[in-house]
Amino acid sequence: EKYGIGQALKNLGIVPENSGTCTGSNWIDTDEGYLASFSPADGQLIAKVQLTNRDSYELVVRQAQEAFLQWRSVPAPQRGEVVRQIGNALRDVKSDLGKLVSYEMGKSYQEGLGEVQEMIDICDFAVGLSRQLYGLTMHSERPSHRMYEQWHPIGIVGVISAFNFPVAVWSWNSMIALVCGDVCVWKPSEKAPLSAVACQHIIAKVLKENGLPEGISSLVIGDYRVGEFLSHDSRIPLVSATGSTRMGKLVGQAVGGRLGRSLLELGGNNAIIVSENADLEIAIRGALFGAVGTAGQRCTSTRRLIIHESVYEEVKSRLVAAYGKLVIGNPLDEKNHVGPLIDEEAVKTYLDAIGKVKKEGGRELVPGGVLAGEGYESGCYVRPCIIEAENHYSMVQHETFAPILYLMKYSSLEEAIAFQNGVPQGLSSAIMTLNMREAELFLSAAGSDCGIANVNIGTSGAEIGGAFGGEKETGGGRESGSDSWKAYMRRQTNTINYSNALPLAQGIKFDI
């Protein structure tokens, strides 16, 4: 059996027809039909997952509400202890889960393992955080008064995740939400539901072993209609959604319409500025992984290279040479660098984008195309391509989730920064330079307008310790590290009077 997929599925509890609606370990039969999950690696049906309907969704939310009443009162460090155990359970299945992610989503096995490592890392982070959900103490203007703030759990957190990080993004949200005392309802991408089923098995086992309520972690399966159950449901105070800007606008409007909170992590159109002062070896390697890693399907993928005119020809020829060495094929075969796109629809979008940018004047330096023949039967393998283009082209302004890299030239750093910022998205950015003035200007208020700005590192592959997200059409949300946890809690300001009088604030007199 090739690559040990059958064994991995077995170890992860994936069967040919999985239930998809679940609270904890309680899998609910919905009678709603199945969603089939095909591997883009070989086009094979992996397994099916039953869809969630309105009735089963109601059951999930009721269980979640009930579980919240208990979970919110478990001391935060004890909640952290549960998350510690989840982290250990993930360590035990790292290779199996990494393999499933790779097979179901198409990223390389190395990147699949990296994704599970992100989950383990966020568990460790959340465990520490569980003793640090700090509020501030303020000095009251009134004598014998005390003011402070507390952070309380907010309730049910809806998590809508994308296919490209089918498990890590859930864990960034839910592991933080869990130590915050929230309970989670997860709607994974309908393009990678089995990775989510596997995670549900893992977390349910830990919850059960600890005698905790089933509704702490739930799973619902379906397309945007199930997403709408969450975004329109006022019992869900926070919806955290990762995906396209189109989806994010719909979720943001629905949640905003009921004055709920949304945390949005949407499209990127990330650029690397390659200065004349760059270490070109690092610049080329950073650009290469950024552009072709995960077949260009990270929201942090490098889509634009803004290169100083004096090094343009050299960068161009070295990159073209590097692309010539890329080996494209089954992501589970570790000799391959680039796996498939998620599905044939994504291939079509990729081809359309190349066609359109060429019409706008783009010149292919490394031509794109779809691969056919042995090993490429799924029809999802494409050639990473490089196109010389101008920043204002409509396709260059647009995030195409595929390995298309646009090259452009600049002469002054101000111009390069204007190109970098001159797109609707604002997720990740980088400058390659050994010049400290250039680096600091890029990081300054007059520099990159993105949520992530790096020096001598590519645009993708952020560590979990920082807050992850970006501005403008990226949606403004911050997930994962730093103080992102605050989005998952409600802040309460408390003023306590221990005097024998009742002085009013601002010195107002009100005597009768």
| DSSP string for 147-213 | EEEEEEE-SEEEEE--SSSTTHHHHHHHHHHHHTT-EEEEE--TTSHHHHHHHHHHHHHHHHHTT--
Closer residue to ligand UN1 (CB): 155 or 166: 166
Sign of CA dihedral 220, 224, 229, 234: positive
* Phi/psi at 372 (5° precision): -130, 165
Q: Restricting to residues 165-204, name those near ligand UN1 by CB under 6 A.
A: 165, 169
CB atoms within 10 A of CB 95: 15
User: Which listed residue (298, 308, 472, 478) binds ligand UN1 by CB under 6 A?
Assistant: 298
State yes or no: is 265 an active-site residue. yes
Between CA 371 and CA 382 the distance in angstroms is 6
Closer residue to ligand UN1 (CB): 111 or 449: 111
Between CA 288 and CA 282 the distance in angstroms is 10
Q: Cβ 486 to ligand UN1, closest distance in Å?
A: 20
Closer residue to ligand UN1 (CB): 50 or 474: 474
Closer residue to ligand UN1 (CB): 105 or 306: 105
- The residue sitting closest to ligand UN1, measured at its beta carbon, is 462
Q: Of the candidates 459, 415, 466, 411, which has an alpha carbon nearest to the alpha carbon of residue 441?
A: 415
**Segment interacting with ligand UN1 (CB under 6 A) among 88-96, 101-109, 196-204, 294-302:** 294-302
| DSSP string for 235-287 | T-SEEEEES-HHHHHHHHHHHHHTT-EEEEE----EEEEE-TTS-HHHHHHHH
User: Which listed residue (39, 50, 269, 300) binds ligand UN1 by CB under 6 A?
Assistant: 300
Count of residues touching ligand UN1 (by CB under 6 A): 11
Q: Restricting to residues 205-264, name those near ligand UN1 by CB under 6 A.
A: 242
**Segment interacting with ligand UN1 (CB under 6 A) among 124-132, 191-199, 298-306, 405-413:** 298-306
**Segment interacting with ligand UN1 (CB under 6 A) among 19-27, 295-303, 335-343, 408-416:** 295-303
Residue 11 interacts with ligand UN1 (CB under 6 A): yes or no: no
Closer residue to ligand UN1 (CB): 243 or 447: 243
Q: What is the DSSP letter of 18?
A: E
Q: Cβ 349 to ligand UN1, closest distance in Å?
A: 17
Beta-carbon-side half-sphere exposure of residue 317 (alpha carbons within 13 Å): 3
Between CA 66 and CA 1 the distance in angstroms is 44
Q: Restricting to residues 111-130, name those near ligand UN1 by CB under 6 A.
A: 118
Closer residue to ligand UN1 (CB): 376 or 485: 485
In 324-358, which positions are buried (b, 16+ CB within 10 angstroms) versus exposed (e)? eeeebbbbbeeebbbbbbbbbebbeebeebbeebb
Q: Of the candidates 155, 162, 300, which has an alpha carbon nearest to the alpha carbon of residue 227?
A: 162
Q: Restricting to residues 436-475, name those near ligand UN1 by CB under 6 A.
A: 460-462
User: Which listed residue (299, 307, 332, 413) binds ligand UN1 by CB under 6 A?
Assistant: 299
Q: Restricting to residues 60-99, name those near ligand UN1 by CB under 6 A.
A: none
Between CA 331 and CA 122 the distance in angstroms is 25
For 233, the 3-state DSSP assignment is coil
User: Which listed residue (56, 164, 171, 240) binds ligand UN1 by CB under 6 A?
Assistant: 164
Closer residue to ligand UN1 (CB): 9 or 160: 160
Q: Cβ 343 to ligand UN1, closest distance in Å?
A: 17
Residue found by looking up tokens 């494409």 in the block: 382
**Segment interacting with ligand UN1 (CB under 6 A) among 44-52, 296-304, 324-332, 407-415:** 296-304
**Segment interacting with ligand UN1 (CB under 6 A) among 292-300, 340-348, 380-388, 392-400:** 292-300
Q: Cβ 483 to ligand UN1, closest distance in Å?
A: 18
**Cα diameter, the chain:** 91
Beta-carbon-side half-sphere exposure of residue 104 (alpha carbons within 13 Å): 33
Q: Cβ 427 to ligand UN1, closest distance in Å?
A: 9
Residue of 104, 118, 265, 399 marked active site:
265
Residues found near ligand UN1 in the complex (CB under 6 A): 118, 164-165, 169, 242, 298-300, 460-462
The catalytic residues are: 265
